[in-house]
Amino acid sequence: MADNRDWLGATTPSDLNVAANWLGAALPIDGDFVRFLKKDTGQLGPTLNVTALTLVRPALIYVGEGYTQNIGGSGAGEIEMGAAKFWYRGTSGKYWFKDGTDALATAWMIVDSTSSSPYTHDCVSIDGATVTLLDVLRGMATAVSGATITDFYVGSRNENAVESQLVLNVGVTLSTSGEVRSGLVTCNVACPTIRVNGGTWDQKTAVAGSTGIFVNGGRLNLHVGGTYAKIVARGGVVDGTQDGGVKVVTDLYVHPSAKIIGWNEGGGGMIEATNTHWLN
């Protein structure tokens, strides 16, 4: 039977592998609900023996509203414990998430900071994990080399606010699609399908593998020259002047309401279209 395993951290502070640091004086096991809650934020988060629970797979890892401690650390300090679901709602501090050795996917990861300045709250690092769906609603998440994300969404919980960031570093694998509706995506890898419906998407590198780009609003900044298979711009801005490389688009679909910066229909611009298709 699954139990709530709340981090208490009062005995041998910061040691993940001490039973007395957990509610019920027992270490988490498969199927438990691992929680880091505001009531216990006076104690340090776990930063020692971070690989001790690598074989454990909780049903949920939850960082509650008002929690302010760091959970893990960079590099060798990452918490090596996977979960079926992960939900971050802390107010400050950061969680360094790394999958355990079971190599099973995390079905759903939600980043939803409760900081008063969520856009700059660097709150979740993802490494060595496969995430089926990543939702960044408030706060900043960073995926580092070794992470695999099937689909992701970046938006803002509060309408018309800018509250979210996602940074995708070199070495991350994006399997299917990414969407930004608000906030900022900084992408240093290929994404098979890119959807920009608001906010800003900065495509820094890795043209190859991005086979479909759809811009309905917001802004897409192309920082790297090369060949883009298809860009469909029904609205918003596509900016090809971010660097000196020419962006060759095999099929460019353009609605009159879209703004394409750096494109001259007659040629000679920073965006060159092999085939131009006008949309009604």
Mind listing the pLDDT tens digit for each residue in 136-167?
A: 999 999 999 999 999 999 999 887 889 999 99
pLDDT over threshold 70, residue 180: yes
Share of the chain above pLDDT 70, in %: 98
Ranges assigned E (strand) in 171-261 = 173-180, 184-187, 193-203, 212-222, 226-233, 237-239, 247-254, 259-261
Per-residue pLDDT band at 211 (split at 50, 70, 90): confident
In DSSP notation, 19-32 reads GGGBTTS----TT-
Within 10 A of 172 (CB to CB), how many other CB atoms are there?
A: 23
Mind listing the pLDDT tens digit for each residue in 15-37?
A: 999 999 999 999 999 999 999 99
In DSSP notation, the chain reads ---EEEB---SSTTBTT-GGGBTTS----TT-EEEE-GGGTTSPPP-BSTTTTTT---SEEEE-TT--S-BS-SGGGSEE---SEEEE--SSS-EEEE--TT-PPEEEEEEE---SSGGG-EEEEEES-EEEEEEEEEEEEEE-TT-EEEEEEE--SSTT---EEEEE-TT-EEEEEEEESSSEEEE-S--SEEEEEEEEEEE-S--TT--EEEEEEEEEEE-S-EEEEEEEESSSEEE--SSSS-EEEEEEEE-TTSEEETB-TTS-SSEEEEEEEE--
Mind listing the pLDDT tens digit for each residue in 220-247?
A: 999 999 999 999 999 999 999 988 789 9
Sign of the C-alpha dihedral, residues 67, 108, 203, 277? Answer: negative
Q: Mean pLDDT lowest for which of 61-70, 126-135, 264-273?
A: 264-273
User: What pTM does this model have?
Assistant: 0.94
Residue 13: per-residue pLDDT: 83
Residue 265: per-residue pLDDT: 83
If you average pLDDT over every residue of the chain, what do you get? 93
Q: Which residue has the higher pLDDT, 259 or 267?
A: 259
Q: Which residue has the higher pLDDT, 160 or 5?
A: 5
Residue 11: per-residue pLDDT: 83
